[in-house]
Amino acid sequence: MTDNKFKPAPEPTVRRLSRYYHLLTSLKEEGINDISSTTIANEIGVDPTLVRKDIEYMKVGGKPKTGFNVNLLLDSIRSYLNWVNPKDAFLVGCGSLGTAMLGYGRFKNYGMNFLAAFDVDDLKIGTTIHDTPVFELQKLTELAKRMEVQIGVITTPAHAAQSAADLFVEGGIKAIWNFAPIHLRLPENIILENAQLTQSLAVLTRNLIHQQLK
C-alpha cells in the first residue's frame, strides 16, 4: 500500500484522540451507537471542525445526519495509536510510583507491556511486584539487548534517572518514558516522552492564578 495507514497526525491531535477515546468509552456504556462531531466537540470543549479533522487522520467516515459510529471510532483510535500491538517495556525504580505503574495493569490496553522491573534495593530484587519480576539494575543492559525491549520507563528519584537512562540507551532501547523531575541528556535518535507531573501541575497552578486575577 502506498497510501500509508499511519499518516502522521500532529501531537495535539494525538492527545485529543486519547480524550475522544475515553469519552466514547463512556458513551458506549450508555448504549449510544452514533455520535456527531458537534456532540463530541461540546463535551471536550473544542471546535466541531477540529473533531472532524482529527477523525479524518484515521480514514474513518461518518454519515451526514447520523454522525459517526461509536464502536468504529473506538476501534479506529485503538488501531491508529497502535494500542492493539503492545510494545515490551522495562521499568527502573520500584518506589511508590514505580509500584503504582506496575500495578496499573491496564497499560497492555494502551500499547505497553511490562516484562521486568529493576531496582538497586536487595530487598526488592528477586521478588515480583504485581506479577512483574524485579531484577538487579546491573542486569538491565544485557536483558534489554537480548529481549529487544523497545520502551524504558524511569520512575527513579531524580539523582538516579540519568544513569538509568544511560543503561537503557546502552541496551538498545528506542523510547524513554521519564517520570523523574529532571532534564535527561540523550542521543538524538532516542524518543523521549516526559510524563512529568510537575509540568502538568504548573499548567494547573498557572490557570488558578489567572482566574483569580480576572
Whole-number Å distance between alpha carbons of 23 and 192: 27
Q: In this complex, which beta carbon is closest to DNA, that of residue 37 or of residue 156?
A: 37
Whole-number Å distance between alpha carbons of 60 and 156: 41
Q: Are 72 and 63 in contact (CB under 8 A)?
A: no
Q: Are 176 and 184 in contact (CB under 8 A)?
A: yes
- The nearest distance, CB 13 to a second copy, in angstroms, is 10
Partner whose footprint covers residue 36, from a second copy, DNA, none (CB < 5 to 8 Å by kind):
DNA
Q: Kindly tell me the burial class for residue 98, based on how many C-beta atoms sit within 10 Å of its own C-beta (0-12, 13-18, 19 or more).
A: buried
Q: In this complex, which beta carbon is closest to a second copy, that of residue 107 or of residue 135?
A: 107
The reply on whether position 43 binds a second copy by CB under 8 A is yes
Q: In this complex, which beta carbon is closest to a second copy, that of residue 110 or of residue 135?
A: 110
Q: Phi and psi (nearest 5°) for 188?
A: -60, -30
Site residues, DNA (CB under 7 A):
10, 12-13, 36-38, 46-50, 52-53, 55-56, 61-68
The number of residues that bind a second copy (CB under 8 A) is 62
**Which residues partner with 35 through β-bridges?**
68
Tell me the residue type at 188.
Answer: E
- The nearest distance, CB 118 to DNA, in angstroms, is 35
Site for a second copy in 55-114 (CB under 8 A): 81-83, 87, 95-97, 99-100, 103-104, 106-107, 110-112
Instruction: Give the cell for residue 49.
Output: 471542525
**The pairing of beta strand 112-119 with beta strand 87-92:** parallel
- What residues line the site for a second copy (CB under 8 A)? 4, 6, 8-9, 11, 14-15, 17-19, 22-23, 25-26, 43-44, 81-83, 87, 95-97, 99-100, 103-104, 106-107, 110-112, 150-151, 174-175, 177, 181-183, 185, 191, 193-211, 213
